[in-house]
């Protein structure tokens, strides 16, 4: 099948991307690793011995960062619909986070422990219909928030990817109702043309 001009343009931009080139040199599976590294440099999220959950982890760039920072004595649990090659220090579950079976497996893997950090870099399978894709993205963000409210330590942190569009302002309002501190992060490793942002929420409000 002949590639469209837009797909050729994306491929050319991807190959020339300095973060893609850097990830190949430094052994990270994706350029996304640098988003987490940059946020951590600013906000000091990652600590030895922490309990962390990575929602939507494949191909594993964030897991590589988490696995290195959590040792020794840490616990990192990751889940994704797609298969992911093993990452040292990470317990990976291939499953559907949005279904009961996936949630139960994730809860079991935590072994009753509350998390210091819950991250969600999840994106839906895109349809190309902006309204549908945005609605699906916000639904994933809401599910991630529900999970964080149940499994996060009171002083823990929740980092979630969201896209500006329908439902964004309502989600920000909701997350501010549940956490004491909420800030927006747009790492340099996030492409300028992307509508993605990361919301970093800390310190659960008392119910």
pLDDT digits (tens, 9 = 90+) for 49-93: 999 999 999 999 999 999 999 988 999 999 999 999 999 999 999
| Contact yes or no for 132/92 (Cβ under 8 A) | no
Annotated binding residue 10: no
Model-level pTM? 0.89
What pLDDT digit, counting tens, does each position of 129-142 carry? 888 999 999 999 99
15 pLDDT band, cuts 50/70/90, is low
Residue-by-residue DSSP string for 44-105? ----TT-EEEEES-TT-HHHHHHHHHH-SS-EEEEEESS-----TTEEEEES-TTSHHHHHH
CATH T-level assignment (fold) for domain 30-204: Rossmann fold (3.40.50)
Instruction: Examine the residue annotation and report whether 181 is marked as an active-site residue of this protein.
Output: no
Where are the chain's structural domains?
30-204
Model confidence at 173, in pLDDT bands (50, 70, 90)?
Answer: very high
List the structure tokens of 128. 């190309």
60 assigned ligand-binding residue: yes
**Residue 118: strand, helix, or coil:** strand
Q: Which of 93, 77, 80, 73 is nearest to 30 (CA)?
A: 80
Q: Of 8, 114, 161, 176, which residue is the catalytic one?
A: 161
**121: annotated binding-site residue?**
yes
**Banded pLDDT at 1 (limits 50, 70, 90):** very low
Name which residue leads in pLDDT, 23 or 148: 148
Residue 116, annotated ligand binder? no
43 labeled part of a ligand binding site? no
Identify the CA nearest to 45 among candidates 181, 169, 141.
181
Residues 6 or more apart whose CB falls under 8 angstroms from that of 77 comprise 52, 53, 54, 90, 91, 93, 106, 109, 110
């Amino acid at each position: 099948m002949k590639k469209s001009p837009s797909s050729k343009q994306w491929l050319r931009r991807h190959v020339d991307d300095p973060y893609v080139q850097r990830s190949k040199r430094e052994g990270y599976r994706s350029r996304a690793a640098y988003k987490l590294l940059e946020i951590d440099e600013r906000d000091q999220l990652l600590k030895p011995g922490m309990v962390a959950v990575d929602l939507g982890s494949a191909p594993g760039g964030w897991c590589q960062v988490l696995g290195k920072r959590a040792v020794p004595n840490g616990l990192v649990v990751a889940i994704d619909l797609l298969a992911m090659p093993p990452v040292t220090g990470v317990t990976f579950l291939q499953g559907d986070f949005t279904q009961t079976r996936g949630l139960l497996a994730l809860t079991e893997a935590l072994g009753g422990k509350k998390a210091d950090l819950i991250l969600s870099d999840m994106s839906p399978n895109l349809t190309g219909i902006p309204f549908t894709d945005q609605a699906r993205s916000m639904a994933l963000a809401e599910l991630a928030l529900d999970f964080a409210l149940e499994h996060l330590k009171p002083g823990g942190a929740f980092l979630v990817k969201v896209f500006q569009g329908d439902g964004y302002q309502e989600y920000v309002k909701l997350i501010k109702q549940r956490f004491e501190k909420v800030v927006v992060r747009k790492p340099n490793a996030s492409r300028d043309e992307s509508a993605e942002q990361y919301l970093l929420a800390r310190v659960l409000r008392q119910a």
